[in-house]
Chain A
Amino acid sequence: MARSSRTVIPRRTVLRGLIGGGIAVTVPLPRLCGMLNDSGTAYAAGGPLPVRFGNWFFGNGIIPSRWVPSRTGVGSAWELSEQLSPLQPVKEYISVVTGLVIKGPDISPHQAMPVQALTGAQTAGGGVVQLPTIDQAVGAITNQTTLYPKGLHVGLTKVNGGIAMGLNVSFSGASAPNPPEQSPARMFQSLLKYASTSTGMPKPADPSLLRRRMVLDTIAEESKALRARLGMEDQRRLDQHLSGLHQLQGQLIAAGMPRMTGTLVDPDKAYPTRGADGDITRKRGQAFSDLLVFALSADLTRVFSYAFTGPACHGNYTDCGLAAATFHEDYGHRTSPKGVQAATEGFNTGVKFTMSCLADTLTRMKNTPDGAGNLLDNSVLYTTSCCSESQTHGGTDFPVLVSGKAGGKLKGDTHVRLVGDSVSKVPYTLLTAMGGKATSFGLGDSMVTGGVPDLLA
């Protein structure tokens, strides 16, 4: 099949821009552009472009009166609220659903609420997650053929909120978290093996890759005898482990193959002042966004999670000018020695700071070509939190944002207000848009059988 003129773009062509501290860095172009049809909307060999999905999570909630946009509608019919205002550059990709509530009797703050918002089910005893989080439910449909079937998971903070979820916002099931990587440098090193060389020449063969693969082969072979001795439940756990080994094997094989990617942004060069691992800084978020965009663009994975902060995070937000005190207590619960009013304004600043960091992720995706459009056209990000009203752990007007167009399936630029409906409706809508066939979503009081049609294109 004839290829379009886009295919003549040299593989080293990258989008150059100024990101973070004015340092020139490069953003990868999709490795697959040479494989697209003439209109750039699908693979030449058939099949649509992949749609990527991510949880973009932040802890400690919002101030509903400053979060909920004043008008509903589509396009110019609505405006972003004060707390959502940092998303203005990507408003055409944003859908806000307000008025949603956490259903069910168990509204234990910071644990049951985010688990319901992410899985559609309340927690079992001891705070145990019962169902996979929405990223994993989507990934089971869309991401099984990539190098990272469970996705890539990042998180800014190391400060645990003291709840059973820990720092995790992605679970493959009960007792099966997908812990976030907290070091951009370590993630960069991990992804480096896939990056095209800066010279465009093939990478020299890395003999360690073969050795490491031989090690994994040996382990897999050795594990057969162990597996045969185990009962069903232990077998299931071992199989997950072996599946991880298998995936690692695939990653090592792929690392030795030439790929068409752009330049991978080295966080130590682009963001040398980003702060230590665990610090909640915008530059750390930008570093992770660059790395995720690289991986999504190169189709290393179609699923990710990004924990700006975890549920009930007690970390501090000094990067946006707040005191070196816990955001959760001093600002979220307004216990700052500076008084309630100052704490309220500080909390508002923190939420806007959070949305600025989300905008950083979205802007990078929007600026990254993907097929005929950009990466954000072919992605969905589901953003939620661990409570609504921060001061009292409110569960009404739960914060829910949807970003991206899902390959044309989502309308974007929409504010829908559904007072009293279950928060589960939004992830169900997204799961269905991503190809899910289930007729319901979630468990118990949190279960829903219908979505939010107004989100769909």
Chain B
Amino acid sequence: MTQFSSRFLMGAALAAIAVSAAGCTGTVEGTGMTPPGGSGGSGNPGMTGMGTGSTGPTDMPPGGDQPAAHLHRLTSSQFANSLRDLFGAGVPIGALDPDQPTGGFVSVGSSSIVSSSSGIGLYEAAAEAATAWLLADPARASAALACVPQMATDTTCASQAFSTLGRRAYRRPLASDETNRLVMLATAVATGQGGTMTLGMQAALSAILQSPNFLYRVELGAPSPADGGRLKYDSYEMASRLASTLWNTVPDNALLDAAGKNGGLATADSVIAQAKRMLADPRAHQGLAAFVDDLYALHNLQDAEPDPMTFPALTPTLRAAMQTELEMRIDDMVFGARGDFLSLFDSKTTFVNNELATHYGLPTAASDGFRKVEIPGDSPRAGILGSGAILAGLAMPQRTAPTRRGKFIREAVLCQTVPPPPSNVVPVLPPPTDPSETMRQRLSQHRVNPSCASCHSLIDPLGFGLENFDGVGKYRSLENGKPVDATGDLDGAQFDGLAQMGAVLRHAAITGPCFVSKLYMNAQNRLAGARDAAILDKLAADFAASGNKADQLITNLVSAEPFRFVEPTKP
């Protein structure tokens, strides 16, 4: 028996905070803005009256287990990374239809999104532009292609080019009829009126980039006799899953070679060997960053519109620096320091350039550029929740947003779903009656009205812990001339300010299992359900036993049976 019961984990990963949504009758702050895939207004009555806080809720999400999808559309970043890997850095990346976040993750939404008709046109335009770029420069073409045919009759060379590139693009070897079809296309265009072999090559390469075999990861599985006939991902599908999860792009040749060898990636050990190699590869950084960007909802940072009369400008370079800081901070913990992942919640180690250092009140450096720095020990800024990327992303134009920030922590860090306010509530914070009021004072009605307090006593106190940071993440000790009160509590654990709150979150029993479940959903391209309880239990226990080493967790996850089998449990 592991130290976490599956029942506990299911609550951690899936269920709702114990609130009586029907009881909230006052006003709450905010605008109804929820992270994509959040509660979004379903008003599900099943969310009420369950458990108590972070150790109790046990209900399943509405609808139960989500069936495994077999067709995963490349996300925008996967499309871009894949194009760069296939054609080279500098390849133009055309506009695409937007991704669809589900449960906060575009990787999950990729399993249900339907491509629009206009999106097909965008794929075509992107493929045309990328192939034209590649073939405009012989050096580029020869770097990307195994062979560059000069004449239409050079079909052997063309075949070699398409089968080699196509293997990576389709994440499996091309069938001979697929390669032949591409050669025929190239030849037909080359020998047609006004045709050239370059145009023929462009046509065939464009066909590869527009093929559903490239644009969707096709992971169907096949019955495995060695496993009692269970549906299991074949070795090339495993290569596809590993490359997507660990690198956010297509496989490299080494991975495909491993998949093609006798035995391929059929065993956990073979997967572990590749996973370790891949995590040591530079592409692992972009894989982790894609997960981090969704996990911490960094779209909020891009969408933030701080009022210029209230806050200093959130310039494009400052926004970019904030995002880079958070990504580097987590990347360093996972791949550099290889330390306790949960220490990120109260760590004082971060990365800044001069613009961000100035924003944070840290010393600038003679030579600009991102560098590892220690935030002074007595500074209230601590942990990743003190990152500008999170603080500026979770604010209203003219003020901080404790409710929004607290809701974010409940959902992203503690895996609890905060139901929307009941339908008889106007979820708009009225303008202040007294301009000297603090946000805590303005939100006091949340605590006065019992039906509001049932929700907000769980949300607002976490947001209050961030009140030392304004709507763009700058430190402040005063609000409207009054000292900031940054005290709060997490289910009874008291704190004063972010440094203490970070420590409380770091040591909360749910924080580690929550992170595990988020990583799991992102890797599986689906929401977690009851069938995942046992594996989440085990992964979380092993994570804790490892001292919360995220790289070990990732390796454990991708080698675990639910990642390798379409049917996650034995019959």
Contact = CB atoms under 8 A, between A and B. Distances in A.
Interface of A: 105-112, 123-128, 148-150, 152-153, 159-164, 166-167, 172-179, 181, 186, 190, 207, 210-212, 214-216, 218-219, 221-223, 225-226, 229-231, 233-234, 237-238, 240-245, 247-248, 251, 312, 314-316, 323-326, 328-330, 333-335, 337, 340, 391-393
Given A111-B41, A325-B397, A225 B32 contact: no
B48 interface: no
B377 interface: no
Contact of A159 (B213, B300, B303, B420): B303
B562 interface: no
A207 B189 CA distance: 10
A442 to B, nearest CB: 17
Top-10 shortest CB links A-B? A108-B41, A127-B40, A244-B120, A162-B33, A176-B114, A109-B32, A125-B42, A234-B71, A150-B117, A244-B117
B398 A222 contact: no
A210 B192 contact: yes
Q: Is the interface of A mostly helix, strand, loop or mixed?
A: mixed
B42 A126 contact: yes
B98 interface: yes
Given A108-B41, A315-B305, A329-B396, A212 B428 contact: no
Contacts of A234: 69-71
Contacts of B182: 218
Nearest to B210: A219
Interface in B385-432: 396-398, 420, 423, 426-428, 431
Contacts of A123: 40-42
Contacts of A238: 71, 212, 216
A244 B215 CA distance: 14
A162 B393 CA distance: 11
Contacts of A314: 303, 305, 397
B71 A108 contact: no
A335 B116 contact: no
B118 A153 contact: yes
Given A218-B182, A221-B181, A108 B114 contact: no
A377 to B, nearest CB: 28
A348 B398 CA distance: 21
A163 B324 CA distance: 25
A106 B43 contact: yes
Contact of B40 (A111, A226, A312, A334): A111
Given A244-B115, A325-B307, 6 more contacts: A106-B43, A126-B102, A152-B118, A181-B118, A214-B185, A245-B210
B124 A178 contact: no
B71 A237 contact: yes
Interface in B106-137: 109, 112-121, 124, 128
Contacts of B95: 186
A231 to B, nearest CB: 7
Interface in B204-242: 204, 206-207, 210-213, 215-216, 218, 220
B2 interface: no
B70 A230 contact: yes
Contacts of B310: 337
Which of A150, A237, A328, A393 has its CB near the most chain B CB atoms (within 10 A)? A237
B41 A127 contact: yes
Contacts of A112: 41
Given A126-B37, A215-B185, A215-B206, A229 B220 contact: yes
A211 B189 contact: yes
A123 B41 CA distance: 8
Contacts of A241: 114-115, 120, 212, 215-216
B305 A226 contact: no
Contact of B124 (A110, A223, A248): A248
B431 A335 contact: yes
Given A337-B398, A393-B32, A230 B71 contact: yes
Given A110-B32, A211-B199, A247-B120, A392 B426 contact: yes
B31 interface: yes
Which of B211, B300, B397 has its CB near the most chain A CB atoms (within 10 A)? B397
A392 B428 contact: yes
Contacts of B218: 226, 229
